[in-house]
Amino acid sequence: MTDPRGTAHVDTFARDHLPPPDQWPELRFDLPELRYPARLNCAAELLTGPPDDRPAFRTPSGPPWTYGELRARVDRLAHVLDRDLGVVPGDRVLLRGPTTPWLAACWLAVLKAGAIAVTVLAQQRPHELSTVCAIARVRHALCDVRAVGDLARAGIPGLRITTYGGDAPEDLLNRPVPAAPYPAVDTAADDVALIAFTSGTTGRPKGCMHFHRDVPAIADTFSRHVLGPRADDVFAGSPPLGFTFGLGGLVIFPLRAGASALLLEQAGPRQLLPAIAAHRVSVLFTAPTAYRAMLAELDAYDVSSLRRCVSAGENLPAATWRAWHERTGLRIINGIGATELLHIFISAADDRIRPGTTGLPVPGWYARVQDENGEPVPDGVPGLLAVRGPVGCRYLADPRQREYVRDGWNITGDTYVRDPDGYFRYVARADDMIVSAGYNIAGPEVEDALLRHPDVVEAAVVGRPDEERGQVVVAYAVLREGAERDPEALRAFVKAELAPYKCPREILFPDALPRTATGKLQRFRLRAAGWPAAAGDRSDQR
């Protein structure tokens, strides 16, 4: 896929810091739609096609942006980047702000100008921003004027911050530029387009480099073959654009289909339901906890416009799937994705959905379950999930590349079982298996049982070191408002659902579970010795 003319990048930092070719996963382009030309600019690709008057981005108030307006605004921003700010192809440009059409337009403009987008979360603090900028050697930042505080306080050497959405003459949106089309930079399909940083629950973040061809590839696999979008769809969801789940679901997939997206600055469960009703949202992307939380207020809103509901970020409990289906008639599309692979690679829709499983490899992707030595294990035996397809892990100058990619496969860090009929069933994160008195206990299985109790809104289960048993099972249960904190009753309920050795030895009732800004559970905090002190009532059955 390499063009003889080579990279269009003037600043070759990203290409120079790709992993050595022998550390890359094997890439597969078996579907005809994945055979992209050697020269490809993904922003131009996403913006080509729909008529000018079709809605592209919607907001809770005001008229929608049409595709014609979006194209014109992206071109204007690209002119500013090129002529005014001195951004050259290959420069890394940090993007920061709440989820708005302007943030999405900035992302498209950066890519159209041949630069590399580094989208971060609006909630990230100065130290986190400094780390990202140091790893990616970021020199330019486009930041919503309302979110500039922590970025400025980070004091990042050499970083030029340009705000948007303010009144100052130097604001990105107020700079005078010619109202003329911007010709997309002639990037190679394998030029780096974006660096997505892992949202991980602990440890130094890893920069995942993705090529221009990777952007349409996720739309032409999961979105095209599983989601099945239509031009009249209205997409919405909770994940921010700094999270690849949100970038795909709220920008890449709708634009690739010529559809529109409702972009919400506040997109928690309480905001999603009225937004769905008011804007007739048809495709929803959010996390399992949000689906469960929305059940309590579902009757107050008209959600009849929904036809697709997608869940990712964490495992979808079967109890949540069934409760949502019973109330709405809608089958949640479960999926597993990874920042390293950009989006979802195992999933299923419609009649192929099997509650309690993640699904089947998305067309264009391949998956297997293997042992620590890289040997496939028989169906029904837990092992490490290994994946390959059109997108693969390429860390930015990080020795952990050798851990994630082994023998051409991407090793996601998840423990899975493959059923005899080919369905993949999640067991746990590989580092979340609990070994207690010789028994292997999967935390998500215990969480599933807890969530079947009508008073439990959220649940998390971890292992705690124990001299006698090696580890004991500790459960954290967030209860519905007004529910009694009765650990003995909850333990009795779980005992009726699972084998006794899987039952929590200790149950705590926090008001909320610790999560990252992207909604991922921070299990390392639950394992910490001091965390239970603030967790409320407890039951210790040692």
Q: What is the pLDDT of residue 540?
A: 45
Per-residue pLDDT band at 470 (split at 50, 70, 90): confident
Q: Does residue 523 or residue 2 have the better pLDDT?
A: 523
Least confident among 39-53, 310-324, 416-430, 527-541:
527-541
Least confident among 68-82, 165-179, 383-397, 490-504:
490-504
Indicate if the pLDDT at residue 152 is higher than 90.
yes
DSSP for residue 84: I
Q: For the residues of 218-273, what is the DSSP string, one character each? A: HIIIIIIIII---TT-EEEES--TTSHHHHIIIIIHHHHHT-EEE--SS-SHHHHH
Using CA atoms, how far apart are residues 42 and 439, in angstroms rounded to an integer? 49
Across all residues in the chain, what is the average pLDDT? 92
Q: Is 356 exposed, middle or buried (0-12, 13-18, 19+ CB in 10 A)?
A: middle
Provide CB contacts within 8 A for 522, sequence distance 6+.
201, 202, 514, 515, 516
How do beta strands 409-418 and 424-429 pair? antiparallel
pLDDT in tens, 155-207: 999 999 999 999 999 999 999 988 899 999 999 999 999 999 986 444 578 99
State CA 255 to chain mean position distance: 18
Residue with tokens 């989820």: 99
Mean pLDDT of 337-355: 97
Residue with tokens 């998500």: 444
Q: What is the pLDDT of residue 438?
A: 62
Mean pLDDT of 4-27: 92
Q: What is the pLDDT of residue 439?
A: 67
Q: Does residue 363 or residue 528 have the better pLDDT?
A: 363
Taking a C-beta distance cutoff of 8 angstroms, is the pair 509, 478 a contact? yes
Mean pLDDT of 57-61: 96
SS3 78: helix
Q: What is the pLDDT of residue 469?
A: 74
Using CA atoms, how far apart are residues 362 and 357, in angstroms rounded to an integer? 14
Residue spans per domain, the chain: 13-418, 437-540
pLDDT in tens, 314-330: 889 898 999 999 999 99
Per-residue pLDDT band at 249 (split at 50, 70, 90): very high
SS3 per-residue string spanning 132-147? HHHHHCCCEEEEEHHH
Mean pLDDT of 279-295: 93
SS3 per-residue string spanning 272-328? HHHHHHHHCCCEEEECHHHHHHHHHHHHHCCCCCCCEEEECCCCCCHHHHHHHHHHH
Residue with tokens 């009249």: 232
Indicate if the pLDDT at residue 542 is higher than 70.
no
Mean pLDDT of 93-112: 98
Indicate if the pLDDT at residue 311 is higher than 60.
yes
Q: What is the pLDDT of residue 259?
A: 98
Q: What is the pLDDT of residue 241?
A: 96
Indicate if the pLDDT at residue 5 is higher than 80.
no
**CATH number given to 437-540:** 3.30.300.30
Indicate if the pLDDT at residue 127 is higher than 90.
no
At the topology level of CATH, where does 13-418 sit?
Rossmann fold (3.40.50)
Least confident among 1-5, 110-114, 144-148, 185-189:
1-5
Q: What is the pLDDT of residue 201?
A: 43
* Total length of the chain: 542
Q: What is the pLDDT of residue 533?
A: 44
Q: What is the pLDDT of residue 444?
A: 81
Q: Is 245 exposed, middle or buried (0-12, 13-18, 19+ CB in 10 A)?
A: buried
Indicate if the pLDDT at residue 2 is higher than 70.
no
Using a pLDDT cut of 70, give the percent of the chain over it. 94
Least confident among 172-181, 402-411, 447-456, 461-470:
461-470
pTM: 0.85
pLDDT in tens, 258-278: 999 999 999 988 999 999 999
Indicate if the pLDDT at residue 123 is higher than 90.
no
Indicate if the pLDDT at residue 217 is higher than 80.
yes
Q: What is the pLDDT of residue 518?
A: 63
Q: What is the pLDDT of residue 393?
A: 98
Mean pLDDT of 103-117: 98
Mean pLDDT of 132-147: 97
Phi and psi angles of residue 214, each rounded to the nearest 5 degrees, phi first: -70, -30
pLDDT in tens, 374-431: 999 999 999 999 999 999 999 999 999 999 999 999 999 999 999 999 999 998 877 7
Mean pLDDT of 213-238: 98
142 pairs with which residues across the strands? 95, 162
**Closest among 517, 527, 409 to 465, alpha carbons compared:** 527
Indicate if the pLDDT at residue 343 is higher than 80.
yes
Per-residue pLDDT band at 149 (split at 50, 70, 90): very high
Q: What is the pLDDT of residue 529?
A: 60
Per-residue pLDDT band at 252 (split at 50, 70, 90): very high
Packed helices 443-451 and 487-497: angle between N→C axes, nearest 10 degrees: 110
How do beta strands 55-58 and 260-262 pair? parallel
Per-residue pLDDT band at 464 (split at 50, 70, 90): confident
Q: What amino acid occupies position 2?
A: T
Indicate if the pLDDT at residue 525 is higher than 70.
yes
Other residues' Cβ atoms within 10 Å of the Cβ of residue 511: 9
